[in-house]
């Protein structure tokens, strides 16, 4: 219970920052004696940002905090207006913020230091005596008891103030301070290839990725590291540190260069503080190529010293105890990662070749097995191939990776992919994702995969929280931003899904997965022509993924163009004579035509073949017409969905 003052008022907490006092009780700002009353939403946004103590707050978190669950369409406009009014009250600038910093495509954070105080602000004198109520005898004794009467009010008031002061002091001591405990955000820019040999780009890119991974495992409670995908968008761009820092929402940037000549390696690295572009440290490392892991460890140690990052004994050991490195195997592994990261079927197959080469050279290294497992898991998702053979290989490679090194987050993410897409073991998929996140909380892919599991189970609020964690670490990722839009679609927030998927395509207009998902969302908002256009783009950009045909036919059926829809169905069946066509895609067209029996028959065939697309059955609205069918419910039950 909060202490009550003698006049019934409660001491109000005041937050001080810059030249402002924020009175939490009165919803007002004070500056040089001038009081400004804040409207409700700007006030709540300011309090929420301050409470997070310099940590980024996503737009989705603000929506959940401030807007009812049914106000989806006007959310962005409402938030933008509220933030604009808040900045006007603070005399702040979006371009050169002193208080509220915008993190593009993500949210906001409060960047000014704050101080708190509990203040007793009572109008009028401390003790007010009602003379009309006094009797003669009271007047005689009033002088004698006056002193005690005053003390009887002052003592409780003083105790109340002390209790409040102690409370806020404890809060201040327990709260992370900006200099010691607040989470620092770091971006590692792509290492420049000073050899200028295009054939060595894989090496400089691989070194960047490995550095991000290593730094991401250092005291993740205090250090957040932007993922490789977002960092690589700045490769070859001449942008200022200030601009990159604003766009990524980071406090520090690590940039460097690498020159690989024969078996020698030279790395230049420097750490720059974003807010004033000050170089914190810079160093050159020259060593034999076989010592590259030791060099990465020294960079990590130098960075932790520069930002006063406390490391546990295990984290220090990770930086200093570097294993023996087989240069040929490491080279092949880096090439494999380079191709896998393109997430296109031909590149994935090329990546598989290099991972297998690395394993052949050094079968004791867990990393190539993890890369191989994830590459095989991605094949049935990105192209039309039978899932059975790919996932058996993915499962075997992931199990081998874990057996060699159970602390490898990449291996657990690969196991999660197998359990999710092929085994349909939802609890185990969750468990593997949580293991990966526990091992490396800065691993954006682990958060994204976990969000996917949650969304397909219908746990939409949890999925949104997890995908925002992934976006905080990887704000420019094509697949992460696309998946956010897709999860909105699966939560049946179609207007928001369309808006998010359009934003995702701004990162890469050629990303075919975003076009597929936008096609689905357009159908639900009855923008059929736009949906058909997206289907055509998805077909062309994916080099013939047949999901685009099934979606096109489904839209045509929704428009009442049954002959055209049947024409697409026949085309898909003819195509099955020359290539593998997932049965799910055929079932979807029959569902659109309203033909339940053949649709259920093809779904059963998809179940027997472990078609990866079946993971969407629970949440995709296109199957709503079949939900009352016992065979459909039985299928969900066998998949462990909807229980």
Model confidence pLDDT, tens digit, residues 413-430: 999 999 999 999 999 999
Burial of 10-37, coded b for 16+ CB within 10 Å and e otherwise, reads ebebbbebeebbbbeeebebbeeeeeee
Q: How many Å is the Cα radius of gyration of the chain? A: 30
Which two structure tokens, joined as six digits, stand for 489? 């679609």
Q: 227-274 pLDDT, tens per residue?
A: 877 888 888 888 888 888 888 888 888 888 888 777 777 888 888 888
pLDDT at 74: 53
For 35-47, the pLDDT digits (tens) are 777 777 888 888 8
* Residue 506 predicted with pLDDT over 60: yes
3-state secondary structure 223-263: EEECCHHHHHCCCCCCCCHHHHHHHHCCCEEEEEEEEEECC
DSSP codes joined into one string, 363-424: TT-HHHHHHHHHHHHHHHHHSS--HHHHHHHHHHHHHHHHHH-TT-HHHHHHHHHHIIIII-
CB 311 within 8 A of CB 218: yes
- Give the least confident one: 46-55, 313-322, 465-474: 313-322
* Range with lowest mean pLDDT among 69-78, 493-502, 633-642: 69-78
**Token reading at 509:** 């207009």
Rounded Cα distance between 516 and 506, Å, is: 15
What distance lies between CA 56 and its chain's CA centroid?
A: 11
Tell me if 184-323 shares its fold with 442-545.
Answer: no
Dihedral of CA 436/440/443/447: which sign? positive
Does residue 69 carry a pLDDT above 60?
A: no
- As beta bridge partners, residue 119 has 12
* pLDDT at 54 exceeding the cut of 80: no
Tokens of 581: 């066509």
Task: Please give the pLDDT value at position 127.
Answer: 30
Break the chain into its structural domains and give their ranges: 12-120+161-174, 184-323, 326-438, 442-545, 563-643
**pLDDT of residue 335 exceeding 90:** no
pLDDT above 70 covers a percentage of the chain that reads 80
Instruction: Select the more confidently predicted residue: 419 or 285.
Output: 419
Q: Report residue 219's pLDDT band, with 50, 70 and 90 as the boundaries.
A: confident
Mean pLDDT of 92-109: 79
The kind and range of the H/E element at 277 are: none
The model's confidence at residue 466, banded by pLDDT at 50, 70 and 90, is: very high
Fold entry, domain 12-120+161-174: Arc Repressor Mutant, subunit A (1.10.10)
Task: Round the average pLDDT of the chain to a whole number and report it.
Answer: 80
For residues 60-83, b (16+ Cβ closer than 10 Å) or e, as one string?
bbbbeebbeeeebeebeebbeebb
Residues 6+ apart with CB under 8 A from 398: 369, 370, 373, 374, 411, 414, 415, 418
Model pLDDT for residues 123-182, shown as the tens digit of each residue: 333 233 333 433 333 333 333 333 334 334 444 444 444 444 443 434 333 333 334 456
Residue 132 has a pLDDT of: 40
| pLDDT, position 331 | 80
- Kindly tell me if the per-residue pLDDT of 451 is higher than 90: yes
Q: What is the pLDDT of residue 157?
A: 44
- Residue 190 C-alpha from the chain's centroid: 21
Q: Is domain 442-545 classified as CATH 1.25.40.10?
A: yes
Confidence of residue 221 (pLDDT cuts 50, 70, 90): confident
Say if residues 260 and 203 touch (Cβ distance below 8 Å): yes
Q: Which CATH class is domain 326-438?
A: mainly alpha
Residues 337-355 have a mean pLDDT of 87
Q: Would you put residue 610 in left (φ > 0), alpha (ψ -120 to 50) or beta?
A: left
Using CA atoms, how far apart are residues 360 and 251, in angstroms rounded to an integer? 42
Residue partners of 362: CB distance under 8 A and separation at least 6: 326, 328, 329, 368
What does residue 22 show for φ and ψ, rounded to 5 degrees? -105, 115
* Architecture of the domain whose range is 184-323: 3-Layer(aba) Sandwich (3.40)
What's residue 73's pLDDT? Answer: 44
């Amino acid at each position: 219970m909060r202490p009550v003052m003698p006049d019934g008022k409660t001491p109000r907490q005041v937050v001080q920052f810059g030249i402002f006092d924020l009175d939490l009780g009165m919803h007002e700002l004070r500056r040089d004696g001038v009081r400004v009353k804040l409207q409700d939403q700007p006030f709540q946004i300011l309090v929420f940002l301050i409470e997070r103590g310099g940590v980024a707050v996503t737009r989705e978190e603000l929506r959940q905090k401030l807007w009812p669950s049914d106000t989806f369409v006007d959310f962005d406009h409402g938030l933008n207006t509220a933030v604009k009014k808040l900045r006007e009250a603070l005399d702040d600038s979006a371009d050169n913020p002193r208080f509220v910093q915008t993190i593009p495509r993500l949210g906001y954070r409060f960047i000014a230091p704050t101080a708190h105080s509990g203040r007793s602000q009572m109008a009028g004198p401390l003790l007010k005596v009602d003379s009309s109520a006094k009797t003669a005898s009271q007047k005689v004794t009033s002088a004698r008891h006056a002193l005690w009467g005053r003390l009887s009010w002052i003592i409780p008031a003083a105790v109340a103030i002390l209790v409040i002061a102690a409370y806020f002091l404890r809060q201040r001591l327990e709260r992370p301070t900006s200099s010691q405990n607040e989470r620092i955000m770091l971006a590692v820019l792509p290492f420049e290839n000073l050899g200028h040999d295009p054939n060595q780009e894989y090496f400089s890119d691989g070194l960047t990725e490995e550095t991000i991974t290593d730094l991401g495992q250092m005291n993740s409670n205090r250090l957040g590291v932007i993922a490789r995908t977002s960092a690589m968008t700045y490769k070859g761009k001449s942008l200022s540190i200030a601009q990159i820092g604003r766009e990524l929402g980071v406090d520090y940037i690590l940039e460097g260069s690498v020159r690989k000549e024969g078996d020698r390696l030279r790395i230049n690295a420097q750490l720059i503080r974003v807010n004033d572009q000050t170089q914190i440290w810079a160093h050159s490392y020259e060593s034999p190529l076989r010592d590259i892991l030791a060099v990465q460890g020294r960079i990590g140690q130098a960075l932790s010293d520069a930002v006063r990052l406390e490391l546990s004994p295990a984290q220090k050991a990770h930086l200093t105890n570097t294993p023996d490195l087989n240069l040929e195997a490491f080279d092949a592994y880096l090439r494999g990662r380079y191709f896998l990261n393109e997430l296109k079927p031909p590149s994935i197959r090329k990546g598989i070749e290099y991972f297998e080469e690395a394993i052949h050279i050094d079968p004791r290294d867990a990393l190539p097995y993890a890369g191989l497992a994830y590459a095989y898991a991605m094949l049935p998702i990105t192209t039309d191939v039978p899932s059975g053979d790919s996932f058996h290989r993915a499962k075997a490679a992931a199990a081998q990776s874990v057996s060699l090194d159970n602390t490898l987050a990449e291996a657990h993410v690969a196991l999660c992919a197998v359990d999710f897409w092929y085994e349909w073991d939802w609890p185990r998929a969750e468990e593997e994702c949580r293991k990966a996140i526990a091992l490396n909380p800065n691993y954006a892919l682990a958060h994204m995969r976990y969000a996917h599991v949650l969304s397909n189970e219908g746990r939409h609020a949890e999925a949104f929280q997890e995908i925002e964690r992934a976006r905080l670490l990887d704000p420019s990722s094509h697949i992460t931003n696309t998946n956010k839009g897709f999860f909105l679609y699966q939560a049946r927030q179609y207007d928001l899904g369309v808006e998010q998927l359009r934003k995702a395509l701004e990162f890469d207009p050629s990303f075919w997965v975003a076009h597929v998902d936008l096609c689905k969302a357009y159908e639900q908002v009855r923008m059929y022509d736009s949906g058909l256009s997206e289907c055509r783009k998805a077909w062309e950009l994916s080099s013939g993924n047949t999901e685009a045909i099934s979606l096109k036919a489904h839209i045509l059926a929704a428009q009442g163009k049954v002959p055209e829809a049947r024409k697409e169905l026949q085309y898909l069946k003819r195509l099955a004579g020359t290539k593998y066509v997932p049965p799910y895609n055929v079932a979807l067209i029959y569902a659109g035509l309203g033909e339940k029996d053949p649709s259920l028959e093809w779904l059963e065939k998809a179940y027997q073949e472990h078609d990866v697309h079946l993971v969407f059955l629970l949440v995709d609205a296109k199957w709503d017409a079949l939900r009352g069918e016992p065979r459909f419910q039985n299928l969900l039950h066998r998949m462990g969905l909807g229980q």
